[in-house]
Amino acid sequence: MPGITPETQETLINAAIQARDMAYTPYSGFKVGAALLTNDLKIYKGCNIENAAYTPTNCAERTAFFKAVSEGERRFAAIAIAGWQDGKPPGLAYPCGVCRQVMMEFTNPDDFWVIVAASKAEYNALLLRELLPLGFGPANLL
Ligand code: THU
C-alpha cells in the first residue's frame, strides 16, 4: 500500500477493532468497527448502529465517513473494517454496496485502500476500484 506504513496500517486495524466495541446491534448481533484514515493521518472511528425499524440502521463505515466529513475532512487514504459475530470474527466482513458508494463519493477509487481485517495479522487490502468497478461517482456529474 503506497503511502501507508505497516505501523499506520496496524494502528488503523487496531482502531477498527476498538471501534467495534461500541457497536449497537441488539437485532443482528453482528458487530462492525471501522477506522478511517485521512491523508494527514487522522483517524475517525465508527461502529454500526441498528434501529428497531431496521432500515435506519447505519453501517460502521458510513458512521466513520459521516463523522469525518461533518468535521470538515475531505481527503482520505484508507479505511479498516473489522466484524464480529458469535464471539469471533466472521471471516472478513467486506463493506456493503451502500458503503462502497459512500466511499466513492469522497475518495479517488484508484487511490483509496479498503483493509478488511479479522485481526492485525489476517486481513485483505484492496483498492476501492476493485470493490466497485465501473462505479458511478462525482466525476459523472461535476
Ligand atoms: N454492517 C456494517 O456495519 N457494515 C457493512 O458493510 C455490512 C453490514 C452492519 C449493518 C447491520 O448492523 C449488521 O452489520 C448486519 O447487517
Given the DSSP bridges, would you call strands 123-127 and 113-117 parallel, antiparallel or unpaired? antiparallel
Per-residue model confidence as pLDDT tens digits over 56-88: 999 999 999 999 999 999 999 999 999 998 887
Which of 21, 31, 32, 103 most suits a substitution to test ligand 1, by most atoms within 8 Å of the C-beta? Answer: 32
DSSP-derived 3-state class of residue 90: coil
- Per-residue pLDDT, 90: 81
DSSP-derived 3-state class of residue 83: strand
For the chain, give the longest Cα–Cα distance: 45
Per-residue model confidence as pLDDT tens digits over 85-137: 888 788 899 999 999 999 999 999 999 999 999 998 999 999 999 999 999 99
Which atom of ligand 1 has the smallest separation from the CA of 32?
A: 3
Query: How far are the Cα atoms of 53, 94, 111 from residue 30, in angstroms, in the given order?
Result: 17, 13, 29
Cell triple for residue 8? 499506520
Confidence of residue 3 (pLDDT cuts 50, 70, 90): confident
